Structure 1
Amino acid sequence: MTAYAIGHIRPETMNEDILRYIEEIQSTMDPFEGRFLVHGSKVEVLEGSFPGDLVIIAFPDIERARAWYASPAYQEILPLRGRHIPGDILLVDGVPAGYDATKTAAALRESAGL
């Protein structure tokens, strides 16, 4: 099942460390079949507030997402971002093919006795 690395980041001033991080991140993802789904796109906020930017990287499964984040190659460049771009980084499983939210709602109703 596809898994995602999601970053809600709040970039500060562009500098050499950040540029180097952006230049090198792809090569750290390639061995784990990671690919950007969202990177540098403008966020359109429909409800609430969302300060910052959103990055979404897809991996074939959660194990490869974890392995990428823990890899020596990524850990080597991580401080380049971490020193200059505060944010929240998450790993999350996607839903399986054919997922139907109505089935989830039915199961939630049953478990809650509603």
Structure 2
Amino acid sequence: MSAYVIFIREKTTNIEELEIYASKAPSGLAGHSLKPLVMYGTHEVIEGPDVEGAAVLEFPGIEEARAWYYSPAYQDAVKHRLKGGTYRGMIVEGFSKE
């Protein structure tokens, strides 16, 4: 069953750290099966506090999403994202219509 990683950027605090993240994050994709569905595009907050944007990544399942997030290559990048802004992140399992 598909799983989704969702990141919500609440506030940018250090653009230089986010630029470092942007340069390192692609190397964390190697060997992982994922599909970017949403990448900080135009948005409208309809509930809750305002946010700067969101990203949604699709994975074949929860274990694959965890393997990507906790991989050494992505962990090397993510520390810069977390220094660059206030984020919320989660892995959520999809559902079957059957």
**Given the two structures, how large is their TM-score scaled by the length of structure 2?**
0.84
Runs of 4+ in 1 over 4 A off after TM superposition: none
Alignment: residue pair count: 97
**What whole-Å deviation, never above 9, does each CA across 1:30-77 have from its counterpart, x for those lacking one?**
412122111120112334443221111111111010011110001111
| Rg larger for | 1
Calculate percent identity across the aligned residue pairs: 30
In terms of fraction of residues, the more strand-rich structure is 2
Higher mean C-alpha deviation, range 44-53 or range 76-85: 44-53
Unaligned runs of 5+ in 2: none
Structure 1 vs Structure 2 CA RMSD? 1.8
In terms of fraction of residues, the more helix-rich structure is 1
Aligned amino acid, residue 60 of structure 2: P
Unaligned runs of 5+ in 1: 100-114
**Given the two structures, how large is their TM-score scaled by the length of structure 1?**
0.74
Q: With CA pairs under 8 Å and 6+ residues apart, which has the higher RCO, 1 or 2? A: 2
